[in-house]
Amino acid sequence: MRSCPVNQIIPFTAAERDTLSQGRSLLLKERLDFVQILDTRVEDLEHLASIVGRASSLTSDLGFSASPRTLDTLSAKLSNQGIEEVVNLPVKASLGRSFTVSKLHLFGFLIKLSQRGWLISIHQEILDCYHAILFSLMAEDLYISIISDSSGHESWTRRATRDLVVMWEERSNAEAVSFAPLLQQLWDVRHTLVPTLGTLMGTVELLKLSFRLPETWHDFLDEQGGKEEVVWALDEFLFSLSYEQLSNLQTLMEKEGIDTVSRSEAMRLLKLRPGQLLEGADDDDLSAIRLYRSFLRRNGLARLRRDGERGGPRRTLEQQLLLHIWTHTPQR
């Protein structure tokens, strides 16, 4: 009987450990009840990390197949078995995701304490940890969606599979580093860069004029901005309205002779409730949470369009940006 190698999962990064230590020291001065909660949750996460580490490695071969397991065979399997469905996720990936979500909730707990004044001195450090964990979840979803949409033979398939396997094996935030800041920057300034819908100058042209976006965005827009699907995906991202909602809005604007509308006017014309925006209704949510929610909803809509051969973007802006980055950066 072959034994499965144990891959040790590091529960917390150095930055997370330091933030937890500082938070515990601050709470010791006045809220011992919260210290106990913090200690329990940290201990639980350490136990969960060890369970994830003991799960079978995706790269180990149990001897069930005639040919050895390689990145190429993994690529074919992942692209063909529907990994967007939770029942098809490998055990290690499923357990690991639960670990990451639990860690996100731990730092969400610290955010609430900082908002109430007990950890205000390390509020930014807590936010930085929270965002890194959240974007690692988003990176996992993004890679899964790209791979599940592939035939398994694209030039980037092997790279995507390798990176996803590393995420599943190590539970690291590394793969989010290349694109997370780019998405957050555009998300945070989207209202000021493109304040209205229906301007004579399109959204791509407006963004190209901005000095507030990094060079990667300008390169992406110069190369991909003329493609209809990219424009559709960009509009969904910027306005928090689906392609279908935007199409209905355009029809209403033409019917009523309206050239431009603000976001609030668009909601009124479409008779939308706040919860029908792609980013959700809660203005008190963190910006990164609203971005992640928007991505999940746009990704679900893109998948429905692919499966149903419907019009509109069949890849999210995030997918198209990541594919662009892969095209212009060498494989490690």
**3-class SS of residue 196:** strand
Residue ranges of the chain with per-residue pLDDT less than 50: 1-4, 200
- Looking at the structure of the chain, the number of domains it has is 2
CA dist., res. 182 & res. 332, Å (int)? 21
184 and 321, same domain (yes or no): yes
Distance in angstroms (rounded) separating the CA atoms of residues 240 and 60: 42
Decide if 91 is inside a domain. Answer: yes
Same domain for 169 and 200: no
What's the burial of 36, exposed, middle or buried (CB within 10 Å: 0-12/13-18/19+)?
Answer: exposed
**Two tokens, residue 116:** 């109430």
At residue 229, the pLDDT reads: 93
Host domain of residue 261: 180-328
Verify that 117 and 193 share a domain, yes or no: no
pLDDT at 181 (0 to 100): 85
Same domain, 172 and 276: no
Contact criterion met (CB below 8 Å) for 157 and 146: no
Using one digit for the tens of pLDDT, what is the confidence trace for 243-294? 999 999 999 988 988 888 888 888 889 999 888 889 887 667 788 899 999 9
Length of the chain: 332
Asked if residue 4 belongs to a domain, the reply is: no
Strands (E), the chain: 196-197, 261-262
* Predicted local confidence at residue 35, as pLDDT: 95
Handedness of CA 49, 53, 54, 56 (dihedral sign): positive
In a domain, 1, yes or no: no
The burial class, CB within 10 Å (0-12 / 13-18 / 19+), for 25 is: exposed
Q: Which of 144, 176, 208 is the last residue of a domain?
A: 176
Distances (CA, A) of 123 to 11, 19, 38, 120, 188: 21, 10, 16, 5, 19
